Structure 1
Amino acid sequence: HFDFDPHIPANGYRSLVKVVRCCLLHIIQKGRYITANRRSIFFRVAHNAGGMEAYCNALCQLRALLYLAQRMLHDNSYGNLFFQDESGLSESFVREYSSMHKGCFYGRCLGFQFTPAIRPCLQTIAIGLVAFGENYRRQQSGIGVAASSFFTSGKYAIDPELRGAEFERITQNLDVHFWKTFWNITETEVLSSLASMTSTQVKVNRALSVPPVPFDLPLAANHRASVTIAPPSAHIGTAPIQMRLIPYDLREGQDSEALLSLSRSEGGAISLSLGLKAKRLPSSPCLLIHFHGGGFVAQTSKSHEPYLKSWSQDLGVPILSVDYSLAPEAPFPRALEECFYAYCWALRNHHLLGWTGEKVCLAGDSAGGNLCVTTSMRLAAFGVRMPDGIVAAYPATLLTAYASPSRLLTLMDPLLPLSVLSKCLSAYAGNEPQTETQVEKVSTLSLVRRDTALLLRDFRQGASNWIHSLLDPNRASASPSTAAEAPPGATGIPPAVSDTVRKSISEASISSPHADPPVPSETSEFPTRKLSVKSQTC
């Protein structure tokens, strides 16, 4: 049914049937294990019952997807993956997705449809994601978020159901700025330096900043005619285009003064390895231009350096990776304009890149794969020379919630669920806010610090009132609970404010036992709010 080959299941209907089959096999295997070991003294009843329940819940959700797949097969013409007239099927698809209980796919069942060797890796990513999400708005610095996530990750490793519920809450509720922050963890200085030390060592790794200057290129069909390539200007105006040149060997032109004038410093060495004079090789007949992935919203060429260095060594060609501007600050078509300009600039300045200008290939993954395709379409529209090859790894080409077999599989994707994909595409289309909504960061430590200050203030005022009562004979006969009956403002805190603080803290603790109570603001108004970090969809 429309797969590449009967023996190579792809994103067709057979893949969905295989997922259902894997779930049934897990249920059968778990049932046989329970039957054979239920009388053993080492048999864990709760653990095995929870596993069986989790896979049965997953099977119930897969039943709904099978119904949609059956409807697509029935309504669509034979041999077509997409509909000419879908009759509202995409709306049914989105409605079914919003009503699904997706947490079961990220708990005990996480990655059940894949080979067992990859499941520990998926579990580690999921645990890190939910721990990061719990501490995302509580810490000011990235180091604080990472440290807090490390200490809170244990409970998600022990409790798969809690991990699944939190995974669903995060993917449904947190905006694109969270995913930008999470995916950019690999951009931090510590991790990037570690990756650089453990990856292949290249002779040149140079970050370039190309000024936005218009220039002319000859047309592919008529070299006597030319077209003017204007610098990118959408949304954020003209600005230098950032690139990274990674050749394994030093080649002609890569140490020229013209290229060095375009180099930008990254706080480290940008030139030859170990400071030694490297042998200069002739220019390469091929060039690989790379567009990185990251959902159009995150990462740079720095995150992709390890495999780009290996590619440069294995292929023996220089690689030019483009650091295009990211959404939501720079939505479509800014990234496309910069990739198009970078490609044309490379054609015009091939002598600076250690390339003869003979053959050029585009490569990219995910969002980068999309940019490979769209850049080629733009080149064809301008009549400029087309690339000799395109390597688009899992490119984002279907950018709508259109009902298709591959879309059914995204409903349970362990790395990029449909809701996250939709947020990234909305940001790229310019439908997401450019700045993150600022919310008050709450932490248990800050709450304890403020409550302790209030308690010490009460003790100090109470002790002062007690001493005055001993020295003043007129107040000696007063009630022992003088401090409790003090007039408004005697403790330095208005009664309404104090009551509101205590009330808001108690209500938040009752309504959400796992959430920190709200921190009162510095002004005299303390809003009464209930904070809940648990999803209500489960």
Structure 2
Amino acid sequence: VAPLLDKIKREAPKFDLDVDTPGNGYRSFVIIFEALFKRCSSLCDLVKSQRSQVVFNLYKYSYIQDLKSWNEMIVSLNTFLEHLNTLLEWNEKDRVRCLFPSEAHSSQELLDKARTIESYSFYRRHAAFQYCSSIESVLKGLLTIMAGYSDYYFSTSPHLWRVAKSLFMSTQYTLDAEHRARRIVHASQYATVDFCKSFWFLAESDLMKKVPDRICPAIRVNQLILIPPEPLQIDSTKCKPVNIPAPSAHGPIAPVQVRLLSAKGRPGMPGQNDYSEATVSDSLIIHCHGGGFVAQSSSSHETYLRHWAVALDVPILSIDYSLAPEYPFPRQLQEILFVYAWIQRNPSVAGTTAKKIIFAGDSAGANLMLGMTLWASDMNLRLPDGIFLAYVPLLVQFEPSPSRLLCLLDPLLPFGFMMRCLSAYAGQPDMLPSHSGGRYSEADGRVKEIVEQINTTTSQESTESKTKHNTVIDPEQLDRLKAHSPVDELDLFRVSSNPLMSPFLASDSALKKMPPISLLTIELDPCLDDSVEFAKRCRRLGCDIRLDILPGLPHGFLNFALLSREAKEGSKLCVKRIRELFK
């Protein structure tokens, strides 16, 4: 381990954005190793101090299991070091200093060597050890719930029996980390995207929806608004009218739902009047939630949005966009664009003049907000005054960067889940429907050209990818399966190089038009390298961009702001960065 790890330590700083912003996928693995060595050292010290005590024999078996678990992790992580060394060699050979290898090397080439990676160890006794202690306990609990939920989801028994068995098995998974690890790994590799959706939608249950009202700050306005699917017309920056039809890709025309959150009632807001407690705001935040493009809603993100609404004292309009795989790309972008056009025509509904608009999003929602901004720029529409993006996937492809390898040991974003969520969003090629008044249009025809480009470059997902993991299996059969190679997932993953889907691929000229961007990510995020390389590129182009990299937190940490002090502090930093964008 030592020689390879020392080499990674020497080379890692060369891939940072700058000396004040240390962070990249190479550093992430160094951090994981240091955390592991620290825990092993603490265990050895504990064993040494208790060997002479009478109670030592009572805990000896537990200590042996702990040491065995750490040893298995070291073996697996050593394999990662070998792959990181391969990436470094590719960089040296190509004479580039980029976290993403050149086109001469493929993810298939790297993952062919990753067949020997054993994933079970990262979901056993010491799962989530790489995170801060408050998050570690939360993630272990979620892994146990996920394993227990799989017994409910895959069972064909009557509902009450499924519930009872799920609860019983959850207690078993708490006691038997080996069984839990096997269930999690196999579920992530063999379950369909529907399992991901179903599990993540537990946060949308009636019980969970009551949590913000009991724990989060009280806000005066929390109102769902349905925007009617009627064509809109707004002026471009060239003072030419642009027709924005109702969203129609991959499904029927339907209203778009948004949630308005505001700490204070303001004139024009639903249920408010001219005698509201506050004056009309000049600012507005348009927000898109995360959830892998396939799950969650504005409701499940209230846990931090309410804090933002109070701390910033600005109305927040959070968009409940349509979810994949039922509605793949570009339906979501159409809906966000439609909402953006509608609020410019009707700002008073949000209690604002909309003189300043900030886009904000986390994870998949952040990807959508940046993609929509690129689209709005191509249409010569008014751009937001700033964009805040939290742990954003900027490349909806599996590129073999160091941080991408983290998803092979990530408790919340396992490789199989990530691949199927991205594939679901990429969808099938499908021309946008042509209907009366349904074309995006501008006098020079530019918008029509853009939409045609989206139509022709929308990615393809093979029939094989839709069926390979779609076999209904019972929980016992799931346990008997063998973990397969990451290459098997990659074989089924084909997406286009559309910059509206993967903003990292946007042209230099498009990026130069972007408003100030604030990126916030974490050291252990599989999408970390996306943000680092994107920030480097924007810096070279002279764009106004800022990058923050937080330690000890997982992808999606904003949803844990009520459970972790570190996550709450991260949410406060988000508020600070958004406030700076308004200035």
TM-score (norm 1): 0.74
Paired residues of 1:127 and 1:163 also in contact (CA < 8 A): yes
Query: Quick one: which amino acid aligns to residue 11 of structure 1?
Result: N
Deviation at 1:32, TM superposition (A): 3.6
Query: Quick one: which amino acid aligns to residue 129 of structure 1?
Result: M
- Could you say which residue in structure 2 is the equivalent of 1:73? 88
Deviation at 1:532, TM superposition (A): 5.1
Q: Output the CA distance in 2 between the equivalents of 1:535 and 1:227.
A: 54
Q: 1:433 to 1:532 in 2, by over 3 A?
A: closer
- Could you say which residue in structure 1 is the equivalent of 2:186? 169
Deviation at 1:27, TM superposition (A): 2.7
Query: Quick one: which amino acid aligns to residue 133 of structure 2?
Result: P
Q: Aligned ranges for residues 329-408 of structure 1 at < 5 Å?
A: 329-408=326-405
Uncovered stretches (5+) of structure 2, i.e. residues with no partner? 1-12, 428-460, 485-583
Does residue 1:252 correspond to 2:252, yes or no?
no
Does residue 1:31 correspond to 2:28, yes or no?
no
Deviation at 1:40, TM superposition (A): 3.7
Q: Output the CA distance in 1 between the equivalents of 2:76 and 2:257.
A: 45
Q: 1:231 to 1:19 in 2, by over 3 A?
A: same
Paired residues of 1:289 and 1:321 also in contact (CA < 8 A): yes
Deviation at 1:96, TM superposition (A): 4.0
- Could you say which residue in structure 2 is the equivalent of 1:428? 425
Deviation at 1:85, TM superposition (A): 3.6
Paired residues of 1:247 and 1:318 also in contact (CA < 8 A): yes
Deviation at 1:65, TM superposition (A): 1.0
Partner-residue secondary structure (3-state), 2:480:
coil
Which structure has the greater CA radius of gyration?
Answer: 1
Q: 1:37 to 1:10 in 2, by over 3 A?
A: same
Alignment partner of 1:84 out of 93, 102, 126: 102
Alignment partner of 2:145 out of 128, 149, 172: 128
CA offsets, 1:228-257, max 9 Å, x none? 1121110102111111111221112114xx
Query: Quick one: which amino acid aligns to residue 229 of structure 1?
Result: I
Q: 1:421 to 1:39 in 2, by over 3 A?
A: same
Paired residues of 2:79 and 2:116 also in contact (CA < 8 A): no
CA offsets, 1:392-449, max 9 Å, x none? 1001112222111111222211211222111100111113659x96858x7xxxxxxx
- Could you say which residue in structure 2 is the equivalent of 1:324? 321
Runs of 4+ in 1 over 6 A off after TM superposition: 139-144
Query: Quick one: which amino acid aligns to residue 196 of structure 2?
Result: W
Paired residues of 1:24 and 1:59 also in contact (CA < 8 A): no
Q: 1:124 to 1:142 in 2, by over 3 A?
A: farther
- Could you say which residue in structure 1 is the equivalent of 2:123? 106
Query: Quick one: which amino acid aligns to residue 62 of structure 1?
Result: L
Paired residues of 1:166 and 1:535 also in contact (CA < 8 A): no
Q: 1:437 to 1:414 in 2, by over 3 A?
A: closer
- Could you say which residue in structure 2 is the equivalent of 1:17? 30
Partner-residue secondary structure (3-state), 2:84:
helix
Q: Output the CA distance in 2 between the equivalents of 1:111 and 1:161.
A: 15
Alignment partner of 2:250 out of 235, 238, 243: 235
Q: Output the CA distance in 2 between the equivalents of 1:91 and 1:103.
A: 22
Paired residues of 1:296 and 1:424 also in contact (CA < 8 A): yes
Q: Output the CA distance in 2 between the equivalents of 1:338 and 1:96.
A: 41
- Could you say which residue in structure 2 is the equivalent of 1:53? 68
Q: Output the CA distance in 2 between the equivalents of 1:279 and 1:226.
A: 35
Deviation at 1:9, TM superposition (A): 4.4
Paired residues of 1:291 and 1:372 also in contact (CA < 8 A): yes
Q: Output the CA distance in 2 between the equivalents of 1:334 and 1:313.
A: 31
Q: Output the CA distance in 1 between the equivalents of 2:162 and 2:228.
A: 36
Q: Output the CA distance in 1 between the equivalents of 2:346 and 2:256.
A: 14
Uncovered stretches (5+) of structure 1, i.e. residues with no partner? 256-270, 443-513, 516-530
CA offsets, 1:188-207, max 9 Å, x none? 11221233333222222211
Deviation at 1:341, TM superposition (A): 1.0
Partner-residue secondary structure (3-state), 2:479:
coil
Q: 1:3 to 1:127 in 2, by over 3 A?
A: same
Partner-residue secondary structure (3-state), 1:228:
strand
Q: Output the CA distance in 1 between the equivalents of 2:227 and 2:160.
A: 33
Of 382-391 and 245-254, more deviation after overlay is shown by 245-254
Partner-residue secondary structure (3-state), 1:205:
strand
Q: Output the CA distance in 2 between the equivalents of 1:137 and 1:278.
A: 54
- Could you say which residue in structure 1 is the equivalent of 2:504? none
Q: Output the CA distance in 2 between the equivalents of 1:366 and 1:143.
A: 35
Q: Output the CA distance in 1 between the equivalents of 2:409 and 2:471.
A: 31
Q: Output the CA distance in 1 between the equivalents of 2:163 and 2:103.
A: 49
Q: Output the CA distance in 2 between the equivalents of 1:145 and 1:422.
A: 28
Q: 1:533 to 1:307 in 2, by over 3 A?
A: same
Of 92-101 and 13-22, more deviation after overlay is shown by 92-101
Paired residues of 1:209 and 1:241 also in contact (CA < 8 A): yes
CA offsets, 1:358-384, max 9 Å, x none? 000111111001011101011001110
- Could you say which residue in structure 1 is the equivalent of 2:483? 537
Paired residues of 1:165 and 1:535 also in contact (CA < 8 A): no
TM-score (norm 2): 0.69
Deviation at 1:93, TM superposition (A): 2.9
Deviation at 1:140, TM superposition (A): 7.3
Q: 1:9 to 1:534 in 2, by over 3 A?
A: farther
Q: Aligned ranges for residues 145-294 of structure 1 at < 5 Å?
A: 147-220=164-237, 222-223=238-239, 225-255=240-270, 271=271, 279-294=276-291
Deviation at 1:34, TM superposition (A): 3.0
- Could you say which residue in structure 2 is the equivalent of 1:500? none
Deviation at 1:340, TM superposition (A): 1.2
Partner-residue secondary structure (3-state), 1:81:
coil
Q: Output the CA distance in 2 between the equivalents of 1:439 and 1:69.
A: 37
